[in-house]
Amino acid sequence: MFKKISLLIGFVIIALVGVIAFKTVTNTVDTTTVDAIKMPAINANAAATRLAEAVRIKTISNGTDAPVASAEFTRLHLLINNSFPLVHDMLKREVVGGHSLLYTWEGTDSSLPPVLLMGHMDVVPVEPGTEGDWQEEAFSGVIKDGVIWGRGTLDDKLSVFAILEAAELQLAAGLKPKRTLYFAFGHDEEIGGDKGAGKIAALLKERGVRLAFTLDEGMVIVQGLMPGIEDPIAFIALAEKGYLTLTLTATTEGGHSSIPPKTTAIGKIARAVSRLEENRLPAALNSPASDMFDTLAPHMPLSLRAIISNRWLLDPILVGELGKGGATNAMVRTTTAVTIVDGGTKDNVLPSTATATVNFRLLPGTLIQDVIEHVTQVTDDPDIDISVKQGNEPSRISSQDGEGYKLIERTIRETLPDVLVSPGLMLAGSDSKHYQSISDNNYRFVPMRFGPDDLARVHGTNERIFIDNYVEIIQFYRRLIENAAG
Ligand SMILES: [Zn+2]
CB atoms within 10 A of CB 276: 22
> What's the rounded Cα separation, in Å, for the pair 366 and 301?
32
> What's the rounded Cα separation, in Å, for the pair 368 and 193?
20
> What's the rounded Cα separation, in Å, for the pair 161 and 417?
23
> What's the rounded Cα separation, in Å, for the pair 314 and 322?
13
Distance 193 CA to ligand 1 centre (A): 10
CB 33 within 8 A of CB 315: no
Question: Per residue, what are the HEC states of 12-57?
Answer: HHHHHHHHHHHHHHHCCCCCCCCCCCCCCCCCHHHHHHHHHHHHCC
Distance 184 CA to ligand 1 centre (A): 14
Contacts of 409 (CB under 8 A, 6+ apart): 236, 421
Distance 152 CA to ligand 1 centre (A): 8
What integer pLDDT is reported at residue 1 of this predicted model? 65
Contacts of 481 (CB under 8 A, 6+ apart): 117, 166, 167, 170, 175, 177, 181
Distance 429 CA to ligand 1 centre (A): 8
What φ, ψ does residue 386 adopt, rounded to 5°?
A: -115, 120
- Can you tell me whether residue 240 is helix, strand or coil? strand
What integer pLDDT is reported at residue 434 of this predicted model? 96
> What's the rounded Cα separation, in Å, for the pair 318 and 480?
36
Distance 459 CA to ligand 1 centre (A): 9
Distance 217 CA to ligand 1 centre (A): 6
Beta strands 242-251; 384-392: pairing state: antiparallel
Distance 159 CA to ligand 1 centre (A): 9
DSSP annotation of 288 reads T
What integer pLDDT is reported at residue 144 of this predicted model? 97
CATH number for the domain whose boundaries are 44-240+395-485: 3.40.630.10
Distance 13 CA to ligand 1 centre (A): 51
Distance 218 CA to ligand 1 centre (A): 7
Distance 410 CA to ligand 1 centre (A): 24
Which helix H or strand E contains 296, and what residues bound it? helix 289-296
Distance 71 CA to ligand 1 centre (A): 21
> What's the rounded Cα separation, in Å, for the pair 4 and 10?
10
> What's the rounded Cα separation, in Å, for the pair 192 and 188?
6
Measured CA distances, 485 to 115, 182, 269, 445, 480 (Å): 9, 11, 57, 19, 8
Among 227, 304, 302, smallest CA distance to 25 is for 302
Beta strands 233-240; 420-426: pairing state: parallel
CB 218 within 8 A of CB 404: no
Among 339, 329, 331, smallest CA distance to 389 is for 339
Q: What is the pLDDT of residues 174-198, one digit of tens each?
A: 999 999 999 999 999 999 999 999 9
Among 108, 103, 73, 71, smallest CA distance to 89 is for 103
Q: At what angle do helices 467-485 and 403-415 cross, to 10 degrees?
A: 140
Burial of residue 322 (CB within 10 Å: 0-12, 13-18, 19+) is buried
Distance 123 CA to ligand 1 centre (A): 7
- Residue 356's DSSP bridge partners are 248, 341
Distance 216 CA to ligand 1 centre (A): 9
Residues marked as catalytic: 122, 189
Distance 190 CA to ligand 1 centre (A): 7
CB 241 within 8 A of CB 425: yes
> What's the rounded Cα separation, in Å, for the pair 98 and 120?
14
> What's the rounded Cα separation, in Å, for the pair 193 and 198?
6
Domain ranges of the chain: 44-240+395-485, 250-392
Distance 443 CA to ligand 1 centre (A): 14
250-392 belongs to which CATH class? alpha beta
Distance 384 CA to ligand 1 centre (A): 36
CB 209 within 8 A of CB 114: yes
Handedness of CA 177, 178, 180, 184 (dihedral sign): negative
- Can you tell me whether residue 171 is helix, strand or coil? helix
DSSP annotation of 60 reads B
> What's the rounded Cα separation, in Å, for the pair 285 and 319?
6
CB 221 within 8 A of CB 232: yes
Write out the chain's pLDDT in tens, 486 residues.
667 777 777 777 777 777 777 777 777 776 667 889 999 999 999 999 999 999 999 999 998 889 999 999 999 999 999 999 999 999 999 999 999 999 999 999 999 999 999 999 999 999 999 999 999 999 999 999 999 999 999 999 999 999 999 999 999 999 999 999 999 999 999 999 999 999 999 999 999 999 999 999 999 999 988 878 999 999 999 999 999 999 999 999 888 889 888 899 999 999 999 999 999 999 999 999 999 999 999 999 888 889 888 888 888 988 998 888 888 899 999 999 999 999 999 999 999 999 999 999 999 999 999 999 999 999 999 999 999 999 999 999 999 999 999 999 999 999 999 999 999 999 999 999 999 999 999 999 999 999 888 999 999 999 999 999 999 999 999 999 999 999
In angstroms, the first-to-last Cα distance of the chain is: 70
> What's the rounded Cα separation, in Å, for the pair 196 and 431?
9
